[in-house]
Amino acid sequence: MGFGIGSITGAFKSAADWVGDKVEDGAKAVGSAAETVADTAVDVVDHGAKALGAARDFVGDRLEDVDHAKAWVGGKIDGAVDTAEKAVDGFRENLVEFGEEHGGFVGKTIAQGISNNIGVLEGGTLAVYDMGKGVVQLADGAGKLVNPLEWAARGGENLDRLEKTGKAALAIGSLASPIGWAINGEGNANTAKALWNGVTEGYQEAAKDGDWSKFIGRGVVDIGSFFIGAGEANAAIKGARAADAVADGARVLDAAADVGKATRGIDAAADAGRIADGATAARVGTRADKVAEIVKNADAATLDKIKSTSTFVTNGLDNAGAEAFLKSSDGQQMLRAMSAADPGADATKIYGRAMDLLSTGSKAPEVKPFNDALVKIVPQGEGVSAYTPFFATMDDLQAAAKSGQSLADAFGLPIRSEAAVYDIYQIAPKGADVDVFVQTIAPTSELGGAVVREGGALQYLVLNRSEWTDAVKIGSIPN
Amino acid sequence: MDKLALKSAAEKFERELAKIGGDPEAVSLRAATLPLIDAAKAGRIEAPLQWREIPGARLFSEGNLRRYGDLEGAYSAFRVELTGGESDTLRALKASMPSH
């Protein structure tokens, strides 16, 4: 696996420099002008809400007439969006001219920022349109579970579907708050895009047109509905009636408007990567801030140490503890399993690999028969090593995400493996029960103790990857 | 500590690293372990290290260095010597795997 030290540095520098300067000061400066603009834009978006509400009713009344629904939904929303887009684009141009005339702080730059935020909301309208079209284009699976229209039309069926893909739905629901989604547009939009093919075309068109504010806006609405859908999925798990819990189109748009308010003042023309970096760094708290500061101020020698992990120490079992385990029946089973997984490896290699694993756990591992999927996080854009034995359950990953620790802290990662956003990969046993070795991740330290990770999450050691399916990406999660 | 065995293991490990050349992960491994290699060659390591203190393992598990079998073997052998030589477990394992 490659590691992106450059992205780490960029992420943390962005947090301090960009979010601090732009969001806080920018948001305050925009003030009431932005509110006015937002209200206007929301009014425009309401056109889409009405169309969407009608679409929902129509779909609800004609559950079996999918082809008819597709044509009707597309036609209704198409007209509303076309009108809305033209009106808003004109207002955006006028606003920039107004800003130029007044100059100063509330000048062209700010006006352009407001205009871009309108673009966010306008893009939101377009995304609703895409969603309306996409609802009848979705394939079976988790995508349907996060689509409010789909819930409205087929609540009972989705409740059943939820039980089958519940973990995926929960993973989606835990990705972030709506505000987090908004300012983490790029990474989460990628997830939405992957799961929700019905809106892919819209993203591509917005990007092709070069109007990045609209592009981000699409993410806002996708994300808003995504979030509501997953939230309702959780409610359904708790026993609520799916039909009652369905989010209608207006709620989707409300979510988009709220998120738009939260992002007001952000220079939406800024690149999405910086947005994502800032959002993540803001979430990980003081511990990550400390890491960020270290990385930000690192000289070349320190960066080399981070890159090579030369100072990364896992405070797991010591030599005596590891030896004691390896002499036990479970330890002998571990050695046999590792040898069976790689018959060509000699004793020294097998021993070394075993000692490496034991060095990462705070206690000796326990053997468990296992027949469920496991997941692994890797920095976004990087794949899973074919050799890694380190995995976790989705439940444990979610618990770590909610623990108040960053994922890097919970899983004891070295600085070079810390990322703003992680991709989640999943493997599943090919057969029935497979033995895994479960242990608590030990604390780690780096740069002579300047960076300390608490560890504490559970890791599931997969000793024979050939017994498991290939790792498949199933989503993303912020640090 | 068997300083001669340690020195020999360090030299072999260093040779294997040199064979890999420009692989970025091998470069990182070399950077991470060079101080230990130099100390081992110079006979300056007086007491066994803890296995967990020796850097570089993640480059094999989370990276792709395991594809270099000879490098992994030399790295493991070097670490065995750094941690005080063959343990009972390793000796037993070797005995149970006579083909290697």
Whether residues A344 and B69 touch (CB distance < 8 A) is answered with: yes
Burial class (CB in 10 A: 0-12, 13-18, 19+), A422: buried
Task: Find the CB nearest B76 among A315, A335, A351.
Answer: A351
Task: Find the CB nearest A310 among B32, B51, B80.
Answer: B32
Q: Using DSSP, state whether A422 is helix, strand or coil.
A: strand
Confidence of residue A289 (pLDDT cuts 50, 70, 90): low
- A341 and A215 within one domain: no
The more confidently predicted of residues A380 and A209 is A380
Interface residues from chain B to A (CB-CB < 8 Å): 24, 27-29, 31-33, 35, 48, 50-53, 55-64, 66, 69, 72-73, 75-77, 79-80, 83-84, 87-90, 93-94, 96-97, 100
Q: What is the mean pLDDT of residues A139-162?
A: 38
Residue B85 has pLDDT above 80, yes or no: yes
Whether residues A385 and B96 touch (CB distance < 8 A) is answered with: no
- A164 and A96 within one domain: yes
- A73 and A150 within one domain: yes
The more confidently predicted of residues A253 and A452 is A452
- A235 and A149 within one domain: yes
> What pLDDT score was predicted for residue A422?
86
* CA separation, residue A317 to residues A258, A391, A439, B85 (Å): 49, 19, 11, 18
> What pLDDT score was predicted for residue B14?
97
Residue A103 has pLDDT above 80, yes or no: no
* Shortest Cα–Cα distance, B52 to chain A (Å): 5
Task: Find the CB nearest A309 among B55, B69, B94.
Answer: B55
Inter-residue contact A359 to B51 (CB < 8 Å): yes
Strand ranges in A237-389 using DSSP code E only, listed in sequence order: 313-314, 366-370, 374-379
Q: What is d(CA A368, CA A198) in angstroms, rounded to the nearest whole number? A: 41
> What pLDDT score was predicted for residue A217?
38
Residue A280 has pLDDT above 50, yes or no: no
pLDDT digits (tens, 9 = 90+) for B27-75: 999 999 999 999 999 999 999 999 999 999 999 999 889 999 999 999 9
Percent of chain B residues past pLDDT 90, beyond the cut: 84
> What pLDDT score was predicted for residue A29?
37
Question: Which of the listed ranges A15-29, A238-252, B52-66 does the model predict with the highest average pLDDT?
Answer: B52-66
Q: What is d(CA A150, CA A46) in angstroms, rounded to the nearest whole number? A: 20
Which residue does chain A place closest to B97, by CA atoms?
A347
- A247 and A337 within one domain: no
The more confidently predicted of residues A154 and A337 is A337
Interface residues from chain A to B (CB-CB < 8 Å): 1-2, 304, 307-319, 322-323, 326-327, 331, 335, 339, 344-353, 355-356, 359-360, 385-390, 414, 417
- A210 and A100 within one domain: yes
Confidence of residue A12 (pLDDT cuts 50, 70, 90): very low
Who contacts A384 (Cβ-Cβ below 8 Å, separation ≥6)?
A1, A376, A378, A425, A471
Q: Which domain holds residue A419?
A: 313-478
- A317 and A235 within one domain: no
Chosen for mutation from B17, B29, B76 (greatest number of chain A CBs closer than 10 Å) is B76
Among A267, A283, A299, the domain-final residue is A283
Inter-residue contact A370 to A429 (CB < 8 Å): yes
Which residue does chain B place closest to A386, by CA atoms?
B64
Chosen for mutation from B8, B52, B94 (greatest number of chain A CBs closer than 10 Å) is B52
Residue A329 has pLDDT above 90, yes or no: yes
The more confidently predicted of residues A175 and B16 is B16
Does the residue A303 lie in any domain?
no
Q: Using DSSP, state whether B2 is helix, strand or coil.
A: coil
- A197 and A247 within one domain: yes
Q: What is the mean pLDDT of residues A285-312?
A: 78
Whether residues A315 and B52 touch (CB distance < 8 A) is answered with: yes
Residue A64 has pLDDT above 70, yes or no: no
Residue A48 has pLDDT above 60, yes or no: no
- A215 and A321 within one domain: no
Residue A441 has pLDDT above 60, yes or no: yes
Among A283, A304, A322, the domain-final residue is A283
Query: What is the phi/psi pair of residue A437, to 5°?
Result: -110, 120
Task: Find the CB nearest B53 among A313, A326, A387.
Answer: A313
Does the residue A48 lie in any domain?
yes
Least confident of A105-119, A180-194, A230-244, A319-333: A230-244
- A124 and A243 within one domain: yes
* Shortest Cα–Cα distance, B53 to chain A (Å): 6
Whether residues A346 and B52 touch (CB distance < 8 A) is answered with: no
Confidence of residue A57 (pLDDT cuts 50, 70, 90): very low
Task: Find the CB nearest B72 among A304, A339, A349.
Answer: A349
Q: What is d(CA A114, CA A435) in angstroms, rounded to the nearest whole number? A: 57
Confidence of residue A404 (pLDDT cuts 50, 70, 90): confident
Q: What is the mean pLDDT of residues A146-165?
A: 40
Residue B19 has pLDDT above 60, yes or no: yes
Does the residue A300 lie in any domain?
no
Whether residues A355 and B84 touch (CB distance < 8 A) is answered with: no
> What pLDDT score was predicted for residue A245?
27
Question: Which of the listed ranges A123-132, A402-411, A451-460 does the model predict with the highest average pLDDT?
Answer: A451-460
> What pLDDT score was predicted for residue A286?
52
> What pLDDT score was predicted for residue B6?
97
Can you say whether residue A239 is alpha, beta or left, with left for phi > 0 and alpha for psi between -120 and 50 degrees? left
Least confident of A112-121, A321-330, B39-48: A112-121
* Shortest Cα–Cα distance, B32 to chain A (Å): 4
> What pLDDT score was predicted for residue B98?
62
- A159 and A119 within one domain: yes
H or E segment to which residue B23 belongs? none
Confidence of residue A295 (pLDDT cuts 50, 70, 90): confident
| DSSP codes of every residue in A277-288 | HHHHHHHSHHHH
Who contacts B2 (Cβ-Cβ below 8 Å, separation ≥6)?
B81, B85
Residue boundaries of the structural domains of chain B = 3-96
> What pLDDT score was predicted for residue A304?
84
Does the residue A167 lie in any domain?
yes
Strand ranges in A280-338 using DSSP code E only, listed in sequence order: 313-314
* Shortest Cα–Cα distance, A293 to chain B (Å): 23
Nearest to A281 by CA among A64, A478, A55, A30: A478
Count of structural domains within chain A: 2
* CA separation, residue A321 to residues A131, A279, A317, B81 (Å): 56, 41, 5, 18
Least confident of A39-43, A135-139, A369-373, B44-48: A135-139
Helix, strand, coil shares of chain A, percent, nearest 5, are: 65, 10, 25
Residue A266 has pLDDT above 70, yes or no: no
A332 chain-B contacts, CB cut-off 8 A: none
Burial class (CB in 10 A: 0-12, 13-18, 19+), A299: exposed
A387 chain-B contacts, CB cut-off 8 A: 60-61, 64, 66
Helix, strand, coil shares of chain B, percent, nearest 5, are: 70, 0, 30
Confidence of residue A114 (pLDDT cuts 50, 70, 90): very low
- A339 and A254 within one domain: no
Which residue does chain B place closest to A387, by CA atoms?
B61
